[in-house]
Chains A and B, each alone.
Chain A
Amino acid sequence: MTKIKSLFMALILSLGVSSAFADGHGSTLDVVKERGFLKCGSNTGLAGFGLPNDAGVWEGIDVDVCRAVAAAVFGDASKVEYVPTTSKVRFTVLQSGEVDMLSRNTTWTLQRDVELGLEFVGVNYYDGQGFMVPASLGVSSATELDGASVCIQVGTTTEMNLADFFSANGMSYEAVPVETNSEADAAYTAGRCDVYTTDASGLYASRAGYPDPSAHVVLPEIVSKEPLGPSVRHGDSAWADIVRWSLNAMIIGEEKGITSANVDEMKNSNDPEVLRLLGVNQVGDTGAGYGQWLNLSDDWAYNILQQVGNYSESFERHIGPNTPINIQRGLNALYKDGGILYAPPFR
């Protein structure tokens, strides 16, 4: 019956209504505001990036980007509905308008940005594919892995990078296909494979969960660039700007030392950029703050920093050295701290 009903729906609605629907869409911001909450495409479960905890609350640095956008739009970081997406459906889910944005460790590539009609608005984690081996194997470089068994998550770009790396170095390997992170951990720790390859962040996260983390080494070779970042649908630049600058606000927050704890004190700062960011200073003498350009309230960035915190806080909270995942800032440190994290000026 359902089939017939849905087909009937298709029939009736396609008679002219469809065009109205297509054009009748307001801007994403209007749709989101009207709905009252943000729909954010998240991972189905990746520790530190996006995962529901025991209480069912979503946590992670990817999740924090969604929360930041919600804080900017509604002034309330909790107004987010997470739509868990597998790596296979993530783009369709965004394209079809089921979610307003995607924030789930997705690599920014040319094809995805251009051919697929997505728009990547920034990078919230610079990653790269690495290899992890048990220390007892005595391997110090990935070029010594000829003939090894390699655990690999299927259906991801890592699979192709792996094939390229091994054939470029004239080595052979046995690919051991696994479906999820936890399955890969199971196979790797049981010794089903000698090597586990995935994004370096994932390797560190997995290693932290092992009974004896020091018995495993991540090899120095990083065989790919994996800039992970949030994305939105192509064609609504205003919405893309909001997501982009929500992320930037977190990064600038760190640069200027604004944290969720001191954000109120910082309103008395002498730094004009801080004052612009927190909505204290106005644009020239128009009487309005910088929120107007984004169609947001002037305290949008203040809300982000107060409720979500700056980039560093988010990082330390979910994946930093004090968490079980224990990732160093590395590339993801600010440009002035030796990393490549760099947000455009807020003016």
Chain B
Amino acid sequence: MTSNPLRKLIFDEKIRSVWIQALVIGLFAFLVYTVSQTTAYNLEKRGIGTGFEFLHMSAGYDISFSLIDFTSKDTHLKAYFVGVLNTLLVSISGIFLATILGFLVGVIRLSSNWLFRNIAYVYVEFTRNVPVLLQIILWYSILIHLPKVKQAVQFLEFFYLTNRGLYSPSPIFLQGFGFVLWSFIFALVFTFFLKRYLKKKQETTGKQYPIFYINSAIIIFTPILMFYIMGMPIEFSHPVIKGFNFQGGMVLRPEFMGMLLGLSIYTAAFISETVRSGIMAVSKGQREASQALGLKNNFIMRLIIIPQALRVIIPPLTSQYLNLTKKLIIRNSNRLFRFSSWLWWYFFKSNW
């Protein structure tokens, strides 16, 4: 069989794999070449210019929500950067919210109360089976029907809820606030070593120390002490109605909140399912064994169940986080997220 070189070409796996791969590469290169040729021809014929010069031209539009200063005179590159920052901000806060809500709902789904459990079930089924785009639109239309600026709902004294967003005081840091921050970092480092020292002592002497309480106290009280020593170096800018809108303070806009709510409530439904299956995956025997050892209930949860459940939960959790981030740009023309608009700019500068 191997004597015939032609047969060898087909049946010898090593030789076969070489020519198959060579063929694939050749074909691929040829395709790339022809497609790029056609594309170049088409672009030229239709008078579509390509290139990145536009990045350095001024954008001409304003972005109302930006973490860095941005005006319509700034370049497209900066607008793009604003978009990246905004995307990161929403995705991080969305992940944060979705995780908390998801864990909560996941635990509720395992509650012994039939009614409570099933409310969570209905929530999960309804949110994860409806397109998130629709949910964002629905949330947004609910948010813009909140009270108007003049009838703002005031709560916790300094917060205002309106259909223009949630207004809150914003801190202004005065000179000396740096010391407070430093003292906080110092406390963190100190407690880290303290914990190691006390653990070692516990291992040698067998005496248990309330490490958690000691360290919490240090971390909380050191910066507070420093804060008073420096003479309370902080001020708040309060939102006040001036003209059409509230001025001063910080604001979460409905566009931002609608996006955040829609995405995190949607993602939380998926997270709750992973959490539920993660906890269920820890076998019953584990719980019973720890009970037999005489561990208290919250210790069982903290030391036995959760560490094991987390091993199951974390891999799918990260992919949920990625999904959330990718779903962000579905409301692409919301100027918050300029990725695809950016793509459009590249090809069709004309449209703007």
Contact = CB atoms under 8 A, between A and B. Distances in A.
Check whether chain A touches chain B (CB < 8 angstroms). yes
Contacts of A212: none
Most buried by B among A18, A91, A155: A155
B335 A175 contact: yes
Nearest to B247: A147
A11 B351 contact: no
A155 B333 contact: yes
Contact of A14 (B38, B60, B254, B350): B38
A157 B341 CA distance: 14
Interface stretch (B28-36, B196-204, B213-221): B28-36
Interface string A172-188: 01111101000000110
B46 A95 contact: yes
Contacts of B144: 186-187, 190-192
A163 B35 CA distance: 40
A112 interface: yes
Interface in B48-62: 48-49, 60-62
A192 B144 CA distance: 6
A163 B62 contact: yes
B209 interface: no
Interface in A180-204: 186-187, 190-192, 194
A279 B5 CA distance: 81
Interface stretch (B95-103, B105-113, B237-245): B237-245
Interface in B272-308: none
Contact of A194 (B141, B244, B334, B344): B244
Interface string B153-168: 0000000000110000
A116 B45 CA distance: 11
A87 B351 CA distance: 8
A157 B351 CA distance: 8
Nearest to A167: B72
B78 interface: no
Interface in B235-277: 242-245, 247, 254-255
Contacts of B63: 175
Contacts of B254: 192
Given A159-B61, A190-B144, A191-B163, A149 B244 contact: yes
A35 interface: no
A55 interface: no
A160 B60 contact: yes
Given A116-B350, A155-B352, A192-B164, A148 B244 contact: yes
Contacts of B116: none
Given A87-B351, A163-B72, A177-B335, A14 B37 contact: yes
A194 B164 CA distance: 10
Contact of B245 (A92, A149, A175, A177): A149
Given A117-B47, A177-B64, A192-B163, A157 B35 contact: no
A336 interface: no
Interface residues of A, number: 45
Contacts of B31: 7, 10-11
B47 A175 contact: no
B195 interface: no
Contacts of B348: 88, 91-92
Nearest to A158: B61
A149 B46 contact: no
Contact of B350 (A91, A160, A174): A91
Contacts of A112: 350
Contacts of A162: 61-62
A179 B258 CA distance: 15
B143 to A, nearest CB: 8
A146 B244 CA distance: 8
Contacts of B247: 147
B164 A179 contact: no
A193 B141 CA distance: 13
Contacts of A174: 64, 164, 245
A186 B334 contact: no
Contacts, number: 119
A176 B351 CA distance: 20
Contacts of A22: 45
Interface in A130-188: 145-149, 154-155, 157, 159-160, 162-164, 167, 173-177, 179, 186-187
A88 B351 contact: yes
Nearest to A133: B244
B331 interface: yes
B247 to A, nearest CB: 7
Nearest to B46: A95
A10 B34 contact: yes
A85 B300 CA distance: 60
B41 interface: yes
A152 to B, nearest CB: 9
B41 A18 contact: yes
Contact of A175 (B38, B49, B64, B333): B64
Nearest to A8: B31
A96 interface: yes
Nearest to B61: A159
A18 B40 CA distance: 13
A29 B73 CA distance: 45
B96 to A, nearest CB: 24
A149 B243 contact: no
A23 to B, nearest CB: 11
Given A174-B64, A192-B144, A192-B164, A147 B350 contact: no
11 contacts: A10-B35, A18-B38, A87-B351, A88-B344, A146-B243, A149-B244, A164-B72, A174-B245, A176-B64, A191-B149, A234-B47
Given A95-B47, A175-B62, 11 more contacts: A7-B35, A10-B35, A88-B344, A147-B242, A148-B243, A148-B245, A154-B334, A175-B63, A176-B64, A191-B144, A234-B47
Interface of B: 30-31, 34-35, 37-38, 41, 45-49, 60-64, 71-73, 141, 144-145, 148-149, 163-164, 242-245, 247, 254-255, 331, 333-336, 341, 344, 348, 350-352
| 10 tightest A-B CB contacts, nearest first | A163-B72, A117-B47, A160-B60, A192-B144, A190-B144, A95-B46, A147-B243, A175-B64, A148-B244, A191-B148
